[in-house]
Every structure is written in C-alpha cells, then in structure tokens.
Amino acid sequence: MMINENEIKNLMIKDSLLAAPFVQEMMAATYNMWTLGWDERNGGNISYLLKEEEVTPFLDIKDKVRTAILEFPVPELANQYFIVTGSGKYFKNVKDNPGDCLGIIRVDGKGNSIDILWGLENDGKPTSELPSHFMSHIARLKVDKNHRIIMHNHATNILAMTFTHELDEKSFTKTLWQMCTECIVVFPDGLGILPWMVPGTDEIGQCTAEKMLDHRLVIWPFHGIFGAGTTMDETFGLIETAEKAAQIYTLIHSHQGGVKQVITDQELADLAKAFGVTPIEGVLTI
Ligand code: 2HA
Ligand code: ZN
C-alpha cells in the first residue's frame, strides 16, 4: 500500500500529539474523575487554555479540520487555543480514544467561530457547556492572568449536599471550611452557588462567569460543580478538597450521634492567618 506524503505527515503529527503534556493531562484527569464516580456516562467537561507555543511543536496550526460557528461571540478569547472534551463523550473512554473524545480548537480573530485543529473525530462537537466554559475563562482571566483551566463534574457528595444544606453561599462555605482543616487554606475565596438552571445555556454560562469573578468554585445545585485554576492539578485538587469536605459533612450528618464539636470561627481565622490567606468577608463571626 502506498502512503502519500500528506498522510505520513498526518500520521506522525497524530502520534506525537498524543505525547503532548496537555493531552496526557486531559487523559489522566478525565480517567481519574470517572474512577472517583464524578463523571457517569457523558457527565463532566474540561477546557484548558493553551499557549500557541505549546501547540506548535505537535500540530501544524495552519491546517484546520473544520470550522464551527459560535452562537455566543467571545471577542475576548480571539485567537486563543484550547483543548476541550467533546459533547456527549464519556470520560471513561478518553484515555483509550483521545482523538474521538477530545479536540484542540482555536477561536477566530473576531471571536465568532472556532477552528477545530485536531480531534473531535466523527464530526464531534466541543462540550455542550462551552458557553459556561468560555465565559468563565473570560471572567477568571480578568482576575488571574495565570488562569488556564475550567473543570466541571458531578462530584457526588457536593451534589448530595445541595439537597441537605441550605443553598446560602456564606453558610455553605463555612460548613465546608469546618469539615477539614485545610479547606479554608485551599479555598479562602469560598464557593458561589447558582439557583437551579437549565444546563448548556448561555444564561447559565453568564451566571457562572459572574460568580467566577469572586470564587474559583461554583455549585450548580442538584447537578454538580465548576472549578477554575492555573493548572490541571490545582483545579482537580480544588474540587477534590471541596468534595472531601462534603463527604465528611454527609458522613457526620448521617451519624446517629450527630456532631459533637466543630472547628471554631476563631480557629478558622487562626488557620487563615497562619497560611497567609484572606477568607472572604461575612462568613466568620469573631
Ligand atoms: O454533558 O455534565 O452539564 C455533560 C454535562 C452537562
Ligand atoms: Zn454536568
């Protein structure tokens, strides 16, 4: 069988791309989340802002596979590259089939469409939560120039807690801070909470992004959580820490004996001081 020059180039690029650190990180993170039970079926999505110089060693950026129009323009993200999970793709399958489940996309110069540069084979589309991801990236970049990752999943205990705890941001934050000593240090900026809304819409995207100006964690009641961060590990660790605290909450509240003692507000303030973080206003009363 004869293979032409273009086909050889494509095969080599495909091969080397799978070794790219950002592809490896997406494969590992999605698999870890699935293993933790946070991403049943096609639940969850990740988008990862990439620098052009990270992409060019692995991909010819002049070759686009196809273009997709954006229903919500994002001029703030013009010419930016992302690796994203695909709409309807199962996290459990990403590591065995990254070319089908992931895509590398670039927003055009005006922010009206995206070029698909690699992946999303079989006519796949970027995550159905792209409005929430893009709008959240825009919000986080306003407050953190090192921001890179938006991650959404259906973390089990956080989701459960939205049924059993009042949905007030301050008291929800305080309860989580009280559950594990490290929480106030990991998320001194607390959590934002939206009302229940239909997922996948521009509206939930706008509301999530508004919360992201003040918090790196945003809860969608009865659905899941959004996290933001500068690296995959940091973002994963942020959600993991909140989820662990929510697990402790659920464990102790199903315990017949109930709660006998908690970390006091003074102790939380001492922790914040010792670790040099500033807790959001209005949560601690000391
Ligand atoms: O489809 O989690 O919110 C994946 C989702 C939607
Ligand atoms: Zn979801």
Active site residues: 129
Nearest CA to ligand 1 atom 3: 199
How large is the average pLDDT for residues 45-49? Answer: 98
- Each residue's pLDDT tens digit, 22-39: 999 999 999 999 999 999
Q: Is the CB of 73 under 6 A from ligand 1?
A: no
Which amino acid is present at 72? F
Instruction: For residue 25, give the 3-state DSSP assignment.
Output: helix
Give the C-alpha separation, 200 to 170, whole Å.
26
Q: How far is the CA of 256 from the centre of ligand 2 (A)?
A: 32
Distance 199 CA to ligand 1 centre (A): 7
Sequence-ordered strand ranges (E) for 161-262:
191-193, 217-220, 224-229
Assign 15 a pLDDT band (cuts: 50, 70, 90): low
A 10 A CB-CB count for 76 gives 15
What pLDDT score does 9 carry?
Answer: 60
The predicted model scores a pTM of 0.93
3-state DSSP assignment of residue 115:
strand
Quick one: pLDDT at residue 55?
96
* pLDDT at 255 (0 to 100): 82
Regarding the beta carbon of 199 and ligand 1, being less than 6 Å apart is answered yes
Strand partners, 66: 116
User: What confidence category does residue 63 fall into, taking pLDDT thresholds of 50, 70 and 90?
Assistant: very high
Mean pLDDT of the chain: 95
Which numbered ligand comes closest to the C-alpha of 87?
1
Query: Per residue in 69-98, pLDDT tens?
Result: 999 999 999 999 999 999 999 999 999 999
Residues 130-165 have pLDDT tens digits of: 999 999 999 999 999 999 999 999 999 999 999 999
- Model confidence band, residue 256 (pLDDT cutoffs 50, 70, 90): confident
> Which segment of 62-76, 200-214, 251-265 scores lowest on mean pLDDT?
251-265
Domains and CATH numbers, the chain: 1-124 (3.40.225.10), 129-280 (3.40.225.10)
Which residues, 6+ apart, have CB-to-CB distance to 45 below 8 Å?
A: 84, 85, 127, 128, 129, 133, 151, 152
Residue 168 makes CB contacts below 8 A (sequence gap 6+) with 193
Q: Which of 33, 38, 45 for mutating ligand 1's site (highest number of atoms within 8 Å of CB)?
A: 45
Average pLDDT over residues 215-226: 98
Q: Which residues are annotated as a binding site?
A: 152, 154, 223
pLDDT of the residue at 258: 81
Residue with the two structure tokens 């999505």:
45
